[in-house]
Structure 1
């Protein structure tokens, strides 16, 4: 792997937010000055993305070492000094020496191990795949819940529907309703009784209307001439009454 030294150094010290920072002890990692055996060197470490930088101090502007956290594992380890809270960054490639680090306490050790284990792109790729799987499961569950809700609403509306329904139109006309002297509701049509009423009508509900002198609306008696004659009767009667009243009000000629 080839890296531009100036670009990497600028990225290590610029104002971009770091994922984790803190002091750690290190034992002779690449770029770290050698120390007396077993003591380790205390350095300032900065984790940005999958890059782990080490500095001689917190105020240093030039990183001493860089570890690319790809193809590696982070696990607890034993340091040369038994009381140290140590962990190691181990690579799968043969011949690569692991990086041995130690924190100041157990809480710091656990925080560093967690942060370093989640820094690689491989881990992020697994997280994205898991989130995509969870999103698909959530969408399927939401779709099933939506279908179940629609079925429940449909079944509820069917169970609450009244048994007696309003009769639909016959031949495009609704039957008129009026109350008789008894108080019951009767259906009244808008057409006269004619001779062209079929035998089926006389045997059905229309026979009751015919016996009462009413006009059932049915496809067999919906011709315009029949309707015109039926409604024309009332108009003729009104016109004759008006003419009679008009004649009665005129003075007689002497």
Structure 2
């Protein structure tokens, strides 16, 4: 893999969010002594510097195709193992159990393969949730029973109310009565009359007659004639 060193150094010192950073002791496969370095994890790139605040890193580890494993050499130590042909192994050591566990978890979750597995798992969970919601929605659908062709027979002892509204084509009158369809008169279409028309036709004359009556009642009466 070809890496542009200038771009890599610029990315290491940029304001890109840092996933984890801190002091770790590092050694390679050849030497047995650990060297203290400042590590910064950004995505799947693990940069290490001579001291905190340096602009250019001493090295970088690309966390792809590797595993994070515990070691038995030092307390709170672990290693980054590359399983490809000619792959290296990096030994790292912290000063506390909690710090070691946090670093191992962060490094194990930094690879692209891990992110791809997480996306696939989240997609599977989303599909299952959508399938469950669809099943619940289908269970809530109510089935409308078919319409009955024959009218229901009222229960025994129930009286028939002749004022109940009946459907078209049915009758509620007793055969032989004047309300039966055989004896019923043809329905007369009634013309709608507004209140204004009714008031003009009947109300105004009544009011006029009443006004005349009141005027006549309140009019002054002539004095009675005295017969001599």
Same fold (TM over 0.5): yes
User: Aligned residue for 1:25?
Assistant: 25
Residues 48-72 of structure 1 deviation map (CA, whole Å, 9 limit, x = unaligned): 0000000001111110011000011
Q: Report the CA distance between 1:16 and its aligned residue.
A: 0.9
Spell out, residue by residue over 1:32-61, the C-alpha distance to the aligned partner (whole angstroms, 9 max, x if none). Answer: xx9xx6441000000000000000011111
C-alpha distance in 2 between matches for 1:188 and 1:122? 75
Number of the residue aligned with 2:111: 120
| Distance in 2 (alpha carbons) for counterparts of 1:59 and 1:187 | 95
- 1:57 counterpart = 2:51: yes
Give secondary structure in 1 for the equivalent of 2:16: coil
Structure 1 position 94 matched with structure 2 position 85: yes
Structure 1 residue 188: Cα displacement: 9.2
Return the alpha-carbon distance in structure 2 between the equivalents of residues 27 and 184 of structure 1: 100
Q: CA deviation at 1:145?
A: 1.3
Report the structure, 1 or 2, having the larger helix content. 1
> Gaps (5+ residues) in structure 2?
146-150, 153-158, 190-228
CA distance in 1, matches of 2:32, 2:83: 26
- SS of residue in 2 equivalent to 1:144: helix
Query: 1:43, 1:57 within 8 Å by CA — same for their partners in 2?
Result: yes
- After superposition, the CA RMSD in angstroms is 3.3
CA distances 1:90-133 after superposition (whole Å, capped 9, x unpaired): 11112222011111111010000000000000000000000000
Give matches, 1:1-254, under 5 Å: 1-28=1-28, 38-79=32-73, 82=74, 84-151=75-142, 185-186=161-162, 209-216=174-181, 227=186, 231=188
Contact 1:43–1:56, Cα closer than 8 Å, also in 2: yes
- Give the total of aligned pairs: 175
Q: Following the alignment from structure 1 to structure 2, what is the Cα–Cα distance between the partners of residues 97 and 87?
A: 14
Could you report, residue by residue, the CA deviation over 1:132-191 in whole angstroms, capped at 9, with x for unpaired residues?
00000000011111222234xx59xx8xxxxx98xxxxxxxxxxxxxxxxx9622599xx
Q: Contact 1:71–1:92 at 8 Å: present in 2 too?
A: yes
**Any gaps of 5 or more consecutive residues in structure 1?**
159-163, 166-182, 190-200, 233-254
Alpha-carbon contact 1:18-1:47 (below 8 Å) kept: yes
SS of the aligned residue for 1:66 comes to strand
- Distance (whole Å) between structure 2 residues aligned to residue 184 and residue 85 of structure 1: 92
How far does residue 205 in structure 1 lie from its aligned partner after superposition?
6.6
Normalised by the length of structure 2, the TM-score is 0.67
